[in-house]
Chain A
Amino acid sequence: METLNTILEVFFNAEIAVRVFPFLLRGLGMTLLLCALVIPLGLAGGLALAWAASLERRWLRVLCVVYVDFFRAFPPLVLLIFLFFGLPFAGIDLPSIAAVGIGFFLNASSYYGEIFRAGVESVPKGQWEAARSTGLTRFQTMTAVILPQATRNVLPDLIGNTLEVAKLTSIASVVALGELLHTARLAQSLVYNPTPIVMAAMLYLALFWPVVRLLSRLEHRNIARR
């Protein structure tokens, strides 16, 4: 009983929780803002990559594979540190939000690009030929005929990757961007108690758990269909 009380007092200290909650909410707001910035950036980059890979030019295809593999091999935190702490030596001083934006654009677009490419390849060739023969341009065929089908085919992967990108915004805390994890660590160092970190973990869970459930559902439906 005594240990339980100690644990409650340390990890779920109500008094501290009330005090730091507004602060953490601001961090949560920043996390959501970051998601709203980096997810569209990554999607746009991924679509551009899939478009480039679909043009029948060998060198473009090879370039896409090199780009994708490079950023799949490169830890996103290393990229972010390089942009934020390494570039100033070349006289390029990026504000942390710009470093996060560029880093996530480069990293996320490689994953999204791979998913969209697989999606585009999953659409039968006849769809291309039929659409082109009705007089649609390449671009119109891609956006109006191929992409809608491709997106549906790879929807679980798209949502899964989006969840990973959203989770990854937590590394922005390393460049002192005041998102949820950063505010929690700041609060923890001020109150000498881990309750803010535990609360941040709970907030992340509340934010992402519904997405995990949705994904699990979609994945199981795919198995059942097979």
Chain B
Amino acid sequence: MEDGWARFVFAYLNPDVAAEWGPKIFEGAVITIELGLATIAAGLFFGMALAVLRASAPRWVGRVIVAFVDVFRAWPPLVVIIVLFYAFPYVDLPMGAFTATWLALSLVLAAFAEEIWWAGLQSVPKGQWEAARSTGLSHLQALVWVAVPQAVRMTIPPLVNRTIAIVKGTALGSVVALPEILGQATSASSLAGNPTPLTLAALAYLAIFLPVVILGRWIETRFAWKR
């Protein structure tokens, strides 16, 4: 029993291996966080822009946006990353691993965010629009100052959950050799011949995402969609 425990610690919680490869995992965590933040910024901004455009542009523009949203809701994010990274270099559009992963995840997040925000805009009662317009606000002003704030509030819980799920996809970058947490951990554990870096990676992911998940749970109860 004693022996089994010692072997387990030697394999998964090896202090020497942890000390040696810890800094690499930390470097990976920095990339994961940068990639995550860049994805959230681009995805949510682009998603909001599309939702606002769909709410105010002619019908055919709306159709194009729906097609975009459908496609990126249907494609697995890893497939988008692989296409960007492995297919585009053939037409002289080589993309770095960071750019490919960021672009893929941002497009997917934008698609989901557009759908959620558009649903939110639709659920703002017509009377709100009419009242806003009758006070002399233009269509754009009514959209920005009256409809969007209400829509954002109502859509926060589903949006937070979706954003967490997509940002966890930063780990997919390891498939195209992006040295984020998982990428660093797999190469470190094969170099060290010991899985302790994978344990460190697991802890790093929990340290980053667990607070966000708990925050999401709190937001969910606080902003609950009152029916």
Query: Is there contact, CB below 8 Å, between B172 and A11?
Result: no
Number of residues from A at the complex interface, CB < 8 A: 52
Query: Is there contact, CB below 8 Å, between A69 and B210?
Result: yes
Beta-carbon nearest neighbor of B173 in chain A: A77
CB distance from B141 to the nearest CB of A (A): 24
Residues of the B chain whose Cβ atoms lie less than 8 Å from the Cβ of A198:
83, 87
Residues of the B chain whose Cβ atoms lie less than 8 Å from the Cβ of A163:
73
Of the residues A10, A86, A90, A174, contact of B189 by C-beta under 8 Å? A86
Main secondary structure of the interface of A (DSSP, over half): helix
Of the residues B119, B174, B210, contact of A77 by C-beta under 8 Å? B174
Number of residues from B at the complex interface, CB < 8 A: 52
Query: Is there contact, CB below 8 Å, between A212 and B12?
Result: no
Assembled-state Cα–Cα distance A6/B92 (Å): 11
CB distance from A39 to the nearest CB of B (A): 15
- Give the 3 A-B residue pairs with the shortest CB-CB distance, closest first: A194-B87, A73-B209, A208-B74
Binding site for B on A (CB under 8 A): 6-7, 10-11, 65, 69-70, 72-78, 81-82, 85-86, 89-90, 163-164, 167-171, 173-174, 181, 185, 188, 193-194, 197-198, 200-201, 204-205, 207-209, 211-213, 215-216, 219-220, 223, 226
Binding site for A on B (CB under 8 A): 8, 11-12, 66, 70-71, 73-80, 82-83, 86-87, 90-91, 115, 119, 122-123, 164-165, 168-172, 174-175, 181-182, 186, 189, 194-195, 198-199, 201-202, 205-206, 209-210, 212-214, 217, 227
